[in-house]
Amino acid sequence: MSGQAPDRLHIEGIAESWLKAPDGADQALLLYRPAVFVECSVNFRSLRAGLNHSEERNYSAWLPEADLAIDWDSSARKFDGLTHLILQPDPAIGYRPGTHQTTKAEFEQWVAELIEKLVRNERLRIYFNPVFGLFSSPGDELDDFLARVADAALGRIGPEMRRLRNRFERQLEQVREAQASRGSLAESFNLESFISNKLHFFESENRLAGMFSTLAGAVFGSSEPRSQEETYRADEAELREDLDRIEQEASDALRALYDEYLMLANEYDTFEIGLQPDNIQVIRGILLWAPVDE
């Protein structure tokens, strides 16, 4: 090929387009270089993920010279959108000399090689939570996906949290009834002891409710259930021991529940979806003339 426009490469049966020169470029320093340009639609399908996702993509590679192989691993030119393509060359830009002897069959073989490469290597990667069977959508950020997982985890743990709260409230009520029974059998009524016991129950109920509301709220926003720092002012050792035991058991149970929640809410894997040849539809393959700085 002489490098002049009249002698430039033509491939019978293959359409061609030209790529616009960059804004501000000096056309005198540019030459058109031939490339294979493929516009195609790829469809990622997965029954397991319930996904049917299509994208339109563009691929390009420099037209190989002589008997060299085409290199689809190196893009000829990257550009945004097809509006950069024009149907006529810029008359101020010449053509780069080269030894291109190309037929339509060879051109179609290069397109077939691109499809084979996409089947071998192209993967759509999304996030997957194996516990709840949740999949992200293409393009979702990890934080957004984990927020969905956290909602699902909270839905699983919510009933268990309510069961625990009922359990410890029943224990507290049993202690209350036992104390009331002892009081009714006492030979003399001790007003100071009665008021003190009521205060113990009131404080324990508040702390127990606080533990559950803290866990359910921020998941739950705080990493630890409410700590027990208050001290009883009463002298009744047995009552104090019973209430301490109930609160400690509740705290331990909530801690275990919270740890389970964190494990469920932060678990994810990367799920890959590949392509089959039938999932790749070539919209067009053209001979693209791209201006390069020589």
pLDDT at 216: 45
Same domain, 118 and 212: no
pLDDT tier at 258, thresholds 50, 70, 90: confident
Whether residue 276 is predicted with pLDDT greater than 50 in this model: the reply is yes
Same domain, 97 and 155: no
Comparing 254 with 92, which gets the higher pLDDT? 92
pLDDT at 263: 79
pLDDT at 34: 92
pLDDT at 119: 96
Same domain, 30 and 119: yes
Whether residue 170 is predicted with pLDDT greater than 50 in this model: the reply is yes
Range of the structural domain that residue 76 is part of: 5-123+274-293
Whether residue 2 is predicted with pLDDT greater than 60 in this model: the reply is no
Q: Rounded to whole angstroms, how far apart are CA atoms 198 and 190?
A: 13
Same domain, 183 and 208: yes
pLDDT tens digits for range 181-200: 765 444 443 444 444 444 44
Average pLDDT of the residues in 63-84: 79
pLDDT tens digits for range 93-151: 999 887 877 889 999 999 999 999 999 999 999 999 998 899 999 999 999 998 888 88
Percent of the chain surpassing pLDDT 70:
74
Maximum Cα interatomic distance, the chain, rounded to a whole number of Å: 122
pLDDT tier at 259, thresholds 50, 70, 90: confident
In the block, residue with structure tokens 């990493």? 223
Same domain, 110 and 167: no
Residue 157: both structure tokens together? 């743990």
Average pLDDT of the residues in 234-251: 68
pLDDT at 144: 92
- Name, in order, each residue with C-beta under 8 angstroms of 50's C-beta and a sequence gap of 6 or more: 135
pLDDT tens digits for range 198-210: 444 445 445 545 5
Whether residue 225 is predicted with pLDDT greater than 70 in this model: the reply is no
> Given the DSSP bridges, would you call strands 280-293 and 16-19 parallel, antiparallel or unpaired?
parallel
- Name, in order, each residue with C-beta under 8 angstroms of 30's C-beta and a sequence gap of 6 or more: 21, 93, 291, 292, 293, 294
Round the average pLDDT of the chain to a whole number and report it.
Answer: 77
Whether residue 4 is predicted with pLDDT greater than 60 in this model: the reply is no
Same domain, 162 and 77: no
Which runs of consecutive H residues, i.e. helices, occur in the chain?
104-121, 142-185, 191-218, 237-265
Whether residue 220 is predicted with pLDDT greater than 50 in this model: the reply is no
- Name, in order, each residue with C-beta under 8 angstroms of 286's C-beta and a sequence gap of 6 or more: 14, 15, 16, 17, 37
pLDDT tens digits for range 34-56: 999 999 999 999 999 999 999 99
In a domain, residue 135? The reply is no
Indicate the range of 144-148, 251-255, 281-285 predicted with least confidence: 251-255
In a domain, residue 283? The reply is yes
In a domain, residue 134? The reply is no
Same domain, 204 and 249: yes
In a domain, residue 236? The reply is yes
In a domain, residue 209? The reply is yes
Average pLDDT of the residues in 74-82: 70
Query: How many structural domains does the chain have?
Result: 2
pLDDT tier at 85, thresholds 50, 70, 90: confident
Residue 180: both structure tokens together? 């009331």
In this structure, the dihedral spanned by the alpha carbons of residues 12, 17, 18 and 20, taken in order and rounded to 10 degrees, is 180
Average pLDDT of the residues in 72-79: 80
In a domain, residue 130? The reply is no
Q: Rounded to whole angstroms, how far apart are CA atoms 237 and 230?
A: 15
Comparing 256 with 110, which gets the higher pLDDT? 110
